[in-house]
A and B are shown apart, each in its own frame.
Chain A
Amino acid sequence: MSFSNDRLWLWLGAACYLAGFALGTLAMARRKPHSRAVMYFIVGAGYLFQTMGLYLRGAAVRGCPLGNQFEILQFTGWSATTLYLLVGATFRLSLLGYATSLLSAALAIVSLSIPSLDATRRVGIFGGNPWIEFHAALALFSYGVFALLSLTSALFLIRHSSLKNKRLSGAFAFLPPIVDLDHICLRLLITGVGLLAASLAVGSVWWFRDTSIVNLSKLLITAGIWLAYAIALALRLGSLLLPKRLAWVCILLFAAALVSLWPIDASRNIGPKAQSTADHSPI
C-alpha cells in the first residue's frame, strides 16, 4: 500500500478513533476520568488522517467525495469530528470526545470493512458545478451534526435513566449534568436544521432551473428529514416537546436520516452526468 492510497489514511484515522474509544473505555473501567487533552489529541490525529484520505479520494473523483455509501459514511463521520474539534472544548462535556470517537470509529470501520459500499466509484458527480457540490457537502455536514446530536441525546437518556433509577456511581459519574446535555442538544438541533436548510436553499436554486436534475424521491426524503427536525425544533422551542422526548426523537430521526441515505445514493444511479467505475485498485 502506498501513501497515495486513500484507504490507508482512512484506516489510520479509524485506528485513532478506535484508540480514543479504547482510552475512554479504559478510563471508565478504572473509574477515573480520561484526560480531555489526550482525547482531543487522539481524535485530532484521526481527523487529520481521515482528512488526508478524503482529500486523496476527492482528488481521484474530481470533487467532494460523496459518490457512494462508503464516501457518505466517511464524510458523515468526518463532519461529526469537525464539529467536535471546533466546539467540543467549549461544550465542556467530558464524554463528548469519547462519544465522537465511538461514532467516527464505527462509521469508518463499517464503511471500510464492507467492500460493497465502495464497489462503485463515481467520478465527477457534480458535473463541475461548485454550488451543487457545496449543497451536497453542506447536507452531509448537517448529517454529521445530527449524528453528534443523536449521541448527545443518547447521553441525555442514559443520564436521565441513571437519575431516575438513583444510580450515580461508576460510569454514570462521568456523565455530564443533564441540563447541560439538554442545552447542547438544543444548540446542535438548531445548527443541524440551519445547515440543512441552507443546503436545501442552495440546491433549490438549481432545481428550479432544471427540475429534471433531481430525483423526486431524493428531494422528498431530504425535505422530509429537514421538516421533521424543524418540527422537533419548533416544538422544543415552544416547550411542547420535553427534553426526554426530544432526545428520543433526535435518535429516531437520525436513524431515519441514515437509512434515507441509501435511496438518496441509489437515486444518483439514474443521474445524467455521473460516470461510474468499479475500479477498487489503490489510487
Chain B
Amino acid sequence: MSEREHTDPSFFVLGADHHTAPLETREKLALSPDRLCGFQQQIEKLSGLRELAVLNTCNRVEIYGVADSPLVIDRLQEEFCTACNLSLSQLEPIRHLAKDREAVAHLMAVASGLESQMLGENEIFGQVKSAYQAAQVRHTVGPVLNRIFQKAFQGAKHIRTHTAITTGQISVANVAVDLATTIFGDLKSAQVLLLGAGEIGEKTAVALRSRGAESLTVSSRTLTKAMELATRFGGAALPFETIPVHLHKFDIVVCSTSAPGAVITLFTATTALRRRPVHPILFIDLAMPRDIEPGVGKLENAYLYNLDDLARIAEGNRAARQAEVAKARLIVEERAQTIWKLIDLSSVSPAHGRPDASGRLTPQPPLPGLDRGASSRST
C-alpha cells in the first residue's frame, strides 16, 4: 500500500528559536537568502508536503506546512539539518514541533510578539507577514495556510490592540525618545546634540530621527569621527572643545563618550541654562563612566537621565507587558480553537500541493470567503 493511500494530513510548525537554541546554534540555524532559497527548493520537492511557508528571522527559523503524514515531517527535519549543517541529535533538543491547533496557537503567539525575545516587539508581525507573502510568491501556500495565516494576523492584531503587551518602550534608545516627547511633544523642531560616537548613542540618534527630530549635531573628541556620523544623519559636526559655548542651543543632549570624567559639568550646564532660562534641556547620559555630573539633574530646568534610569523605565515597561501575557495567551488559545474548527484538512485533496513535474508545489485555490488582502498586495 502506498504512502499516499494512508494520508493523515496535519498542519504543523517545525523549527527552533531563542527559547531553546543558544546564540551559537542560532547562528548555524540562521539561513542566508541564498541558503534559504536552496533549502526551500529542496523541501518543495518533498512528496506529501502540500503547503509550506518559512519564517526566518535572527531569533527563529520555523517551517509552517501541511504534511500528509508524520513521515513527511521527519524527512523535512532531515533536510533542515542538512541545510543548517546540524546533526539530528543536535537539532532534537532545541527543535519545537507542534501540530494542528497547537501550531495555529504558536503562529498567532509569534505574530503578536508573545514569543519574541523582546516581548511585544512590533517587527515580528511584519516578518511573519513577509514570510507568508514570500510563500505566496513561490506558490507554496494553499487553502489551509492561507486561512490560518490570515486568521492568525487578525488574532495578532486583536491581541496588540486589546492587551498592553505592546505598550511602553522596552529598549533604552526608544525609552530615551519617549522621554524626549514627554518633555518636548513634537520633536520636529527639537535641536539634538549627540556627544560621542558610541553605539548606544547612535541608536538613540536613529530612534530620535525616526520620531521626527530633524536637527542633529554630532560632536566627538575625534572631529573626523563626528563628521562621519553627522554625514550619515544629515546633520552638522561640532568641535568637542566648543561644546560649553554652544550647549545652550540644544534641547536634547545625548552623551555616550568614553571619556574618563565628566564632559558636561555642573558649571557648563548652569551656564547653558542661564542663557535659555525658560526652555528646558533634556540630558541623556548613556556613557559609562558617566559624562554628566549628577548635580545637573537638580537644576530647575534640566532633566537628567542616565543609563540606569532608562534601563529601569524599560524594565518597568517590560514588567507591565509581562503582566499582560496571561490575558494575551488566553486570547491566543480561544482564537486558535476557533480557527482550527474552521480548518478541514480532510477536504484537501491529496493531489493538491503535490509537486508538479518541475518539482514545485502546485498553487492552491483559496477557500470561499477568504480574505485575500495580503494575497492581492503581493501580486
Chain A residues within CB distance 8 Å of chain B:
31, 159, 163-164, 166, 168-169, 175-180, 182, 236, 239-240, 242-244
Contacts and interface: CB of A to CB of B under 8 A. Distances in A.
A168 B174 CA distance: 14
Given A177-B185, A243-B280, 7 more contacts: A163-B303, A168-B178, A169-B313, A169-B320, A179-B280, A239-B278, A242-B301
A169 B317 CA distance: 8
A177 B182 contact: yes
A31 B309 CA distance: 22
Nearest to A176: B185
Interface string B311-329: 0110011001000000000
B179 A239 contact: no
A205 to B, nearest CB: 36
B168 interface: yes
A236 B320 contact: no
A174 to B, nearest CB: 11
Interface in B273-287: 277-280
Contacts, number: 50
A164 B312 CA distance: 14
Nearest to A173: B168
B312 A163 contact: no
B153 interface: no
Interface string B155-183: 00000000010001000000000110111
A283 B173 CA distance: 64
A178 B300 contact: no
A178 to B, nearest CB: 5
Contact of B168 (A164, A169, A175, A177): A169
A175 B181 CA distance: 11
B301 to A, nearest CB: 6
A177 B320 CA distance: 22
Interface in B297-353: 297, 300-301, 303, 305, 309, 312-313, 316-317, 320
Given A236-B278, A239-B278, A168 B313 contact: yes
A260 to B, nearest CB: 28
Contacts of B301: 242-244
B300 A242 contact: yes
B184 interface: yes
B278 A166 contact: no
Contacts of A164: 297, 303
Q: Nearest 9 pairs between A and B by C-beta?
A: A177-B185, A239-B277, A180-B185, A239-B278, A163-B303, A179-B184, A166-B309, A178-B183, A169-B316
A177 B179 CA distance: 9
Max count, chain B CB within 10 A of own CB: residue among A169, A180, A182, A244: A169
Contacts of B168: 169
Contacts of B279: 179
Nearest to B178: A168
Contacts of A169: 168, 313, 316-317, 320
B185 A31 contact: no
Contacts of B179: 168
Interface of B: 164, 168, 178-179, 181-185, 277-280, 297, 300-301, 303, 305, 309, 312-313, 316-317, 320
Contacts of B312: 166
A82 to B, nearest CB: 26
A75 to B, nearest CB: 33
A238 to B, nearest CB: 10
A147 B278 CA distance: 23
25 contacts: A163-B182, A163-B183, A164-B297, A164-B303, A166-B309, A168-B182, A169-B168, A169-B316, A169-B317, A177-B181, A177-B183, A177-B184, A178-B182, A178-B280, A179-B183, A179-B184, A179-B280, A239-B277, A240-B277, A242-B278, A242-B300, A243-B278, A243-B280, A244-B300, A244-B301
Given A179-B183, A244-B300, A166 B277 contact: no
Contacts of A236: 278
Contacts of A179: 183-185, 279-280
A242 B305 CA distance: 21
Contacts of A168: 178-179, 182, 313
A242 to B, nearest CB: 6
Nearest to B305: A166
A31 B164 contact: yes
Nearest to B185: A177
A31 B320 CA distance: 11
Nearest to A180: B185
Contacts of A175: 182
A176 B186 CA distance: 11
Contacts of B277: 239-240, 242
B297 to A, nearest CB: 8
A182 B278 contact: yes
A103 to B, nearest CB: 23
Contacts of B309: 166
A115 B295 CA distance: 54
Nearest to B306: A166
A243 B185 CA distance: 16
Contacts of B320: 169
Nearest to A183: B185
A114 to B, nearest CB: 40
A179 B181 CA distance: 10
B300 to A, nearest CB: 6
B277 to A, nearest CB: 5
Contacts of A182: 278
A179 B303 CA distance: 12
A180 B183 CA distance: 8
B186 to A, nearest CB: 8
A15 B287 CA distance: 53
A166 B320 CA distance: 16
A240 B278 CA distance: 8
Max count, chain B CB within 10 A of own CB: residue among A164, A168, A177, A242: A168
